[in-house]
């Protein structure tokens, strides 16, 4: 396949959309494409050297007049300069707000210079389900999705929700989240397991950015119920606004000795390698990348049945799903999965399911989508 020069715009911080964008960029570079990341700081998973990867930092100046520095303008300006100087073939923006509207502005500026550049927008979740729907953003989100030359969503459910809540005139292609099974695989970490679970306790893990939508309170409550029945430990990875409440809940339930908050960890796969169960009781979840990472490390998932999770977690096979907030059902299911007779089968099933989302299967979908969008834009420009 011919080399494509792609500008990738994303949030560089911890969070699913940034992880997907960074891993996609890395994989595209390995395939020989040229990838230019455009963000306000180095993406946290951009941890490897490749001659095809470039990083362009968006600098935005403050000024006493600006209570809120206009990041979107600085981003659009940076997209213009990178597209012109690096002769990009395509801009791929992850998370609609404000990346899709900044890309639209960049596209219009480039047009005045005689440059036509297609924009692909990937919808990740809260840019549609929470923030995007809000009246303060909705008109801009609708407009910029409709003005994109290509739009992808990470699950069928997110596509459905986008079409339900916004007046979309564009086609939406579903390209699911993916996983690099070379990186996310069960590693031998017996010493670590022994240190955390010295009495052979079951190890339960949760990873998130600790926002309300993740229902950390349910994670703690489910764990509390589990450890009343069987010896178990809970590890929580990540950080965010709900952490203080979660810590208080652990103190109130007197389970601090069995619970550890690990904060923002880079090597999540090392912890997942020794986990027995992953909890994801989210209020909303467009796909559930964190659950896929767990499954790749042979960890079954107890989750809610919201959003795109049913497109990943297979009921009674890779774990179980319950209605949002039904912690009693989640507890019953967790105890069933953790039963020593059942656990090995669930672990094997989790890995098998994860294999269906291996990057080697999903990357070609992005490549052919890029080619289609570039060609469509070229034909359109020719009039
Ligand atoms: O809330 C998060 O988990 C972060 C958020 C993001 O956009 O950074 O994640 C969303 O995108 C991920 C990657 O596509 C999906 O796997 C997550 O399900 C989705 N989160 C939500 O919908 C809440």
What is the reported pLDDT for 203?
Answer: 98
Average of per-residue pLDDT values in the chain: 95
Domains 5-178+359-382 and 190-355 share a fold: yes
- CATH topology for the 190-355 domain: Rossmann fold (3.40.50)
What is the reported pLDDT for 295?
Answer: 98
Give ∠ CA 263-327-337 in degrees, rounded to 5: 80
Is 70 exceeded by the pLDDT of residue 210? Answer: yes
| Site to substitute for ligand 1 among 96, 285, 307, 313, most atoms within 8 A of C-beta | 285
Is 125 close to ligand 1, i.e. is its CB under 6 Å away?
Answer: yes
Kindly give the distance from the C-alpha atom of residue 135 to the centroid of ligand 1, in angstroms, as a whole number. Answer: 21
Give ∠ CA 342-234-11 in degrees, rounded to 5: 105
- Tokens coding 7: 């500008």
Domain ranges of the chain: 5-178+359-382, 190-355
What is the reported pLDDT for 61?
Answer: 82
Of 62-66, 149-153, 357-361, least confident by mean pLDDT is 62-66
The residue whose CA has the least distance to atom 12 of ligand 1 is 16
Which listed CATH number (3.40.50.150, 3.90.580.10, 3.40.50.2000, 3.65.10.10) goes with 5-178+359-382?
A: 3.40.50.2000
- Report the percent of the chain where pLDDT is more than 90: 85
Pairing of strands 150-153, 259-263: unpaired
Of 38-47, 97-106, 271-280, 368-377, least confident by mean pLDDT is 38-47
241-255 burial, b if ≥16 CB within 10 A, otherwise e?
ebbeebbebbeeeeb
Q: Are 290 and 125 in contact (CB under 8 A)?
A: no
Average pLDDT (79-85) is 98
Question: Could you tell me which residue, 97 or 223, shows the higher pLDDT?
Answer: 223
Query: 188-208 pLDDT, tens per residue?
Result: 998 999 999 999 999 999 999
| Phi/psi at 277 (5° precision) | -155, 145
Query: 338-348 pLDDT, tens per residue?
Result: 999 999 999 99
Kindly give the distance from the C-alpha atom of residue 258 to the centroid of ligand 1, in angstroms, as a whole number. Answer: 28
Is 15 close to ligand 1, i.e. is its CB under 6 Å away?
Answer: yes
For residue 143, what are the CA distances in angstroms to 68, 92, 161, 168? 23, 17, 16, 8
Ligand 1 atom closest to Cα of residue 154: 14
What pLDDT band is residue 112 in, cutting at 50, 70 and 90? very high
On the 0-12 / 13-18 / 19+ scale of CB atoms within 10 A, 346 is buried
- Tokens coding 211: 């926002």
What is the reported pLDDT for 14?
Answer: 64
């Amino acid at each position: 396949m011919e080399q494509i020069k792609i500008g990738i715009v994303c949030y560089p911080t911890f969070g699913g959309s940034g992880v997907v964008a960074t891993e996609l960029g890395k994989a595209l570079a390995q395939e020989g494409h040229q990838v230019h990341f455009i963000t306000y700081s180095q993406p946290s998973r951009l941890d490897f050297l490749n001659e095809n990867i470039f990083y362009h930092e968006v600098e935005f100046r403050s000024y006493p007049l600006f209570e809120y520095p206009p990041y979107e303008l600085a981003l659009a300006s940076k997209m213009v300069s990178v597209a012109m100087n690096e002769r990009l073939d395509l801009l791929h923006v992850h998370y609609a707000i404000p990346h899709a509207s900044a890309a639209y502005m960049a596209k219009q500026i480039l047009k005045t210079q005689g440059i036509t550049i297609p924009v692909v927008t990937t919808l990740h979740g809260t840019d549609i389900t929470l923030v995007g729907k809000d009246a303060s953003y909705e008109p801009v989100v609708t407009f910029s999705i409709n003005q994109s030359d290509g739009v992808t969503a990470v699950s069928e459910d997110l596509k459905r929700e986008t079409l339900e809540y916004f007046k979309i005139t564009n086609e939406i292609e579903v390209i699911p989240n993916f996983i690099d099974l070379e990186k996310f695989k069960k590693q031998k970490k017996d010493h670590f397991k022994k240190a955390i679970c010295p009495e052979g306790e079951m190890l339960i893990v949760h990873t998130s950015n600790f926002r309300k939508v993740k229902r950390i309170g349910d994670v703690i409550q489910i764990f509390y119920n589990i450890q009343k029945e069987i010896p178990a430990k809970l590890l929580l990875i990540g950080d965010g606004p709900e952490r203080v409440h979660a810590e208080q809940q652990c103190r109130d339930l007197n389970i601090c000795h069995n619970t550890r908050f690990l904060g923002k960890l880079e090597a999540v796969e090392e912890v997942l390698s020794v986990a027995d169960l992953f909890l994801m009781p989210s209020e909303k979840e467009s796909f559930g990348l964190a659950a896929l990472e767990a499954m790749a490390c042979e960890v079954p998932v107890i989750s809610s049945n919201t959003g795109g999770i049913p497109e990943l977690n297979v009921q009674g096979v890779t774990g179980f799903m319950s209605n949002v907030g039904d912690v009693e059902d989640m507890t019953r299911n967790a105890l069933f999965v953790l039963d020593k007779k059942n656990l090995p089968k669930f672990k094997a099933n989790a890995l098998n399911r994860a294999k269906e989302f291996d990057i080697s299967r999903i990357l070609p979908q992005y490549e052919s989508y890029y080619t289609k969008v570039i060609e469509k834009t070229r034909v359109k420009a020719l009039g």
